Structures are given as structure tokens and as C-alpha cells.
Structure 1
Amino acid sequence: MYTSLVRAQNVFGFFTTVAFAVAALIAGTDLLAPRTPSGTIRPTNTQVVKGRPHYYSTKREEYAIIKFSLDADLSSLFTWNTKQVFVYVTAEWPAAAGNNATNQAVIWDQIITSPSSDHLANIGPATLRKLKKSAAGKPIDPSRGKLSLKNQRPKYQITHPSSRIAETDGVELRLHYNVQPWVGALTWDQGRDYGRWKATAGGASDAFALPAIKKKDDGDKSDSSSSSSKKKTNNNNKKKAKA
């Protein structure tokens, strides 16, 4: 009962109990910190092109490219327990009639680290030095949660399992986030208020429709007509010069 092994087990058991109690207390403090995220997002340019899913594929699919502008204030998500915030934008549109579901695809994402976790950022050495220098002496830097993107190119092109996405109606862009704490559970954006945690104000664009695919034949016809008109003009000029 009083051997060294038993005493070591008792000390370890007491240590783990205290550690779990402190961790639960730290995680509980996040519930007391208010969250008031907000954002406005709108599409600036949309186009649909045809392409292959990979190099060796012979199948051609339709891909939508959606540029957008985003102004968001996620500074309230950064507390002393925040490790990093994962921000992403999705394109959402209703499924076919009779299917009670919503299609959702990510078109852009970004990881925003806290000053205490800058060493985990997957960026180049020069950018990392600038990032650390901008937050020198700051345990928390809420200004990192303020995003302003103008005519942002998407990171990902989106498609549909049917390989058809052109002329899709009711498409919306939505802003989402995921808070990753040092201690505690992962939390996502919610659709309604929970205590001091408020739902994202705004964060969704007006519904819009994806355009049709520009037919290659139309471009070829216009090119051929323009080239033929140029040839006629050149021939007329030559005849005038000879005369």
C-alpha cells in the first residue's frame, strides 16, 4: 500500500484530476467571452467553363469560377484561448425539385492564427517574420479578424456530380468560420444566438444565377468574320493603291 509504485500512481492520479479540472475551467471561460461576428459578401464576376477533372480523364465537366468581395469583422472570435480561426466561403444552391437538400461547395478558405501560434502557420519565412513583427508583444491581436477582400479570385472551382452547373439559379455565397482553441472543443458558426455568442450578422449574398457556357462556335464565327472583313479591307486598299 505504501510502496513507491502506489505513491507514484496516487500522485499521477491527483495530477490528472487537477489538469482536467483546470482544462474544463479554461474551456468554460470561452462561453463568457462575447462573439459578434459580422460580414458582407457579394459576387463580382461569375463564369462557367468546361474542363477535365484530372489530366488523364477524357470526361469533360462544367466548372464555375466565382470571384467575390468580402468585408468581415471576426475580431471578437480571438481570445486568449484562441489558437487559430479557419475562415471559408461556400457557394450554396438548392438541389433538384423533390430533393430536400442544399448543394454546398467551398470556393475559398484561409487560416488566421493568433500571435501565440504563428509558428504553426504554413507560410514562407519572410512572411512569417513580418507576421511575428506585426504582433510583437501582443498575446491577442483581434485586428487579424478583420478581412477586406476586393474581387477575390476563388481558390477552388466548383462542379456538380451531374457534371452540369451552368445556368443554375438561386446560388448564394456564405461566410463560415471554425474556431480552434488551445483547450476545449471546436466551435463553428451558428445559425442563431446562444447566450453571448451571436449568429453572424449578414454573411450571405443575394441569390444569383450562374451564366451559360460561352459556345466556342460563336467565338470562332466572330473571329472568322472579323478576319474576313480585315482581308476585304486590305484587298480594297491594295486595289486603290494600284489605281
Structure 2
Amino acid sequence: MNNLQNRANAVLAFSLSAIFCLLGAIALSALLIPTHPTGSVALDSIKVVTGRYDKNWVDYGTRDNQFANTVMRVDADLSSLFHWNTKQLFVYAVAEYSTPTHPKNQIVLWDTIIKRKSAAVIKKKNIKNKYTLIDLNKKWTNVQANVSLHWNVVPYVGFMTYGHSQLSEDYAFPLPSGVQT
């Protein structure tokens, strides 16, 4: 006969196997739920400013760096991404552009975390960029950028899924005031 330790081990092993099978089924079933999120982001204004990034940064210590400040509007309905296995959404606006030295550049302009389905409909205006827009070339001359809205679905159990809206039309970065070409 089996002693108490062997019986407890068998019960625990069976219970853990059953729990992991259940969690695997939950993770796979959440991928089958149809979603139809919509979202767009548009830049209302782009202003390029010349200045120093931070006095403590050696790389950006000169005063001739150019920084871009944006004002944007976000219109999105991401409520279809919420279901029984959605813990939260991470939503962010990304500017994509290319330069002669770097063919693909992406900068996050703004982000937010959505924890409830009731907050998943976003209609915001006059949003300023949350993060500094600075390029490795230190200049925003002749740059055309596209902006898109991205989201990550963080589940309770399973795989994190990603999505994004269509790219916007091209936005040109203007020259800083007082600078001639």
C-alpha cells in the first residue's frame, strides 16, 4: 500500500496537471475571440525647437539640437479587445520616419494603460507628446513622419497580442523659427 506521502504526491501532481490543462485551454480560447478595434491618431501641430537636451548628457550637450513638440488627437474604440481574459491594454502612439543614415525610426509620442472596458473608448484632443522627440542626427530637416496607434492586450493567462491602426498621411517637420535653409 501507498503511504500518506505517496498519496499526497499523486493528488498534487494530478491537480497541477489539471490546472495547467485548464489554463492552456483558457489561453488558446482567448485567441479565438473575434475583435474589431478601431483607432486613429492625428497630429494637429508640430513645432521644432532648438536647444540643449540636458546639461548632464555629454552626447546632447550642444545648444544646436532640434526637438519636436507635437499636439495630437486620438480617436479609438478598443472596447472589443476587452473580454473575460483581458487584464489591461497598453495603448501608445508611434511616429515612424526615415533618414538617410537610419532607414527606419520609431518614436513613442504618448502612451496610456487602460484597465476597464468603460475607459476603452478614447476621444482626446490637445495631447502633447509625453516623451522628447530627438533624432540621432540632431536635426529634423526634411523629415516626413507617419503616425499610428498601437495597442498590446495583456491577458490574465496566455499570450500577449499586439495590434495597430493604419498609418496616417505624411507629416512634415517644420524648420525651427529663425532658421533658414
- Give the TM interval when normalised to the shorter protein: 0.7 to 0.9
Q: Which runs of 5+ in 1 are unaligned?
A: 115-141, 191-199, 218-243
Which amino acid letter does the alignment assign opposite residue 102 of structure 1? K
Q: Which residue of 2 aligns with 1:66?
A: 70
Q: TM-score, normalised by structure 1?
A: 0.66
Matches within 5 A, 1:1-243: 2-57=2-57, 58-60=61-63, 61-96=65-100, 101-114=103-116, 142-169=117-144, 171-189=145-163, 200=165, 203-215=166-178
How far the C-alpha of 1:13 sits from its partner, in A, is 1.2
Report if aligned partners of 2:40, 2:148 keep a CA contact under 8 Å in 1: no
1:189 partner SS: strand
The superposition leaves residues 51-97 of structure 1 with CA deviations (integer Å, 9 ceiling, x where unpaired) of 33323243342211111111111110000111000000011012327
- When Rg is computed on C-alpha atoms for both structures, the one with the higher figure is 1
* Higher fraction of strand: 2
Q: Which runs of 5+ in 2 are unaligned?
A: none
Which amino acid letter does the alignment assign opposite residue 23 of structure 2? A
How far the C-alpha of 1:159 sits from its partner, in A, is 1.1
Question: CA–CA distance in 1 between the matches of 2:138 and 2:129?
Answer: 19
Q: TM-score, normalised by structure 2?
A: 0.87
Report if aligned partners of 1:64, 1:166 keep a CA contact under 8 Å in 2: no
Which amino acid letter does the alignment assign opposite residue 207 of structure 1? D
Which amino acid letter does the alignment assign opposite residue 183 of structure 1? V
Report if aligned partners of 2:99, 2:143 keep a CA contact under 8 Å in 1: no
